[in-house]
Amino acid sequence: MKKILYFQCNTGISGDMTLGALLDLGVDKEIFLDEINKLSIKNEFELKIEKKKVSGIEGTNVDVILKEHHHHEDEHEHHHGRHLADIYKIIDESKISKNAKALSKKIFEQIGKAEAKVHGTTIDKIHFHEVGAVDSIVDIVGTAILVDMLSIDKIYSTPIPFGKGFVKCDHGFMPLPAPATIEILRGYEVKFTQIESELTTPTGAGIIKALSSGILESEDYSVNRIGYGLGNKELPIPNMLRAVLIEQKKKKNYMK
């Protein structure tokens, strides 16, 4: 039976909400932490995984807490971000599964291509400020590890919603959706909402574009497990990402 993962992105998708939703499906937290700690940057972050409630619905909230650094060379790296080659090296040198490595790189490549296009440069020159930050490496590699641990065969989603307004970033203010986010999701089904907030982040967009096969068509499925990843922002509607593990129902054969 094919294992299908369905993301219901009512309030968009971000890296931390994806981690929360996948962990909430019942993955063993300790095994996941052992895996993510196989990254050479494990001393640069701490993961806070908590059960919380949003609008009375319990889910998992994941916070990537960055540790303070006092080393000079680290400082340099922090301010200037990492290049894609640096990130691939971190992934390749880790002891995570081959599949998790491949999925991680696929997501980073989607984001890198879009960032390069938006900034008018090439993928190898892109500094991952926002994304190369440690938390995005954790979000992306963590998602890849969880998808691998859950042995997912196929991923689908709802259309991806965008908020409106502006977001502050390294380069000043950017219109929402952020240029990289909308570039990543070119060709994917999206919807524009009136919510004044960044609903879908470049990391969330990269995860969907790299891993999802598209929008789930209405067919008969049976629902196995449900997970909720909670967001930190207050929104006019419950800020959560729902991940559902489903199976395609076998068509009954009524012929003699």
pLDDT in tens, 118-155: 999 999 888 776 555 798 999 999 999 999 999 999 99
pLDDT bin (cut points 50, 70, 90) of residue 69 is low
* Number of compact structural domains in the chain: 1
> What crossing angle do the helices spanning 134-149 and 98-118 adopt, rounded to 10°?
140
What beta strand segments (E) does the chain contain?
Answer: 4-8, 45-54, 57-66, 82-83, 127-128, 154-157, 160-162, 166-169, 172-175, 190-192, 221-230, 240-248
Does the pLDDT at position 240 exceed 50? yes
Domain membership of residue 179 as a residue range: 11-248
- What is the secondary structure of 86-139 as a DSSP string? HHHHHHHTS-S-HHHHHHHHHHHHHHHHHHHHHTTS-TTT-EESTTTSHHHHHH
Query: Is residue 133 included in any domain, yes or no?
Result: yes
- Tell me what the mean pLDDT of segment 18-30 comes to: 97
pLDDT of residue 187: 97
Does the pLDDT at position 221 exceed 60? yes
The larger pLDDT score, comparing residue 24 to residue 248, is at: 24
Query: Is residue 168 included in any domain, yes or no?
Result: yes
Query: Is residue 6 included in any domain, yes or no?
Result: no
pTM of the entire structure? 0.92
pLDDT bin (cut points 50, 70, 90) of residue 77 is very low
- Tell me what the mean pLDDT of segment 209-232 comes to: 94
Query: Is residue 27 included in any domain, yes or no?
Result: yes
Q: Is 80 within 8 Å of 63 (Cβ atoms)? A: no
Query: Is residue 5 included in any domain, yes or no?
Result: no
Does the pLDDT at position 78 exceed 60? no
pLDDT bin (cut points 50, 70, 90) of residue 248 is confident
Closest Cα to residue 84, out of 138, 128, 119?
128
Q: Is 126 within 8 Å of 119 (Cβ atoms)? A: yes
Q: Is 178 within 8 Å of 201 (Cβ atoms)? A: yes
- Tell me what the mean pLDDT of segment 26-33 comes to: 97
pLDDT bin (cut points 50, 70, 90) of residue 72 is very low
pLDDT in tens, 162-182: 999 998 877 789 999 999 999
Query: Is residue 225 included in any domain, yes or no?
Result: yes
Tell me what percent of the chain is helix, strand and coil, each rounded to the nearest 5. Answer: 35, 25, 40
Does the pLDDT at position 105 exceed 70? yes
pLDDT of residue 76: 45
Where on the phi/psi map is residue 65: left (φ > 0), alpha (ψ -120 to 50), or beta?
beta
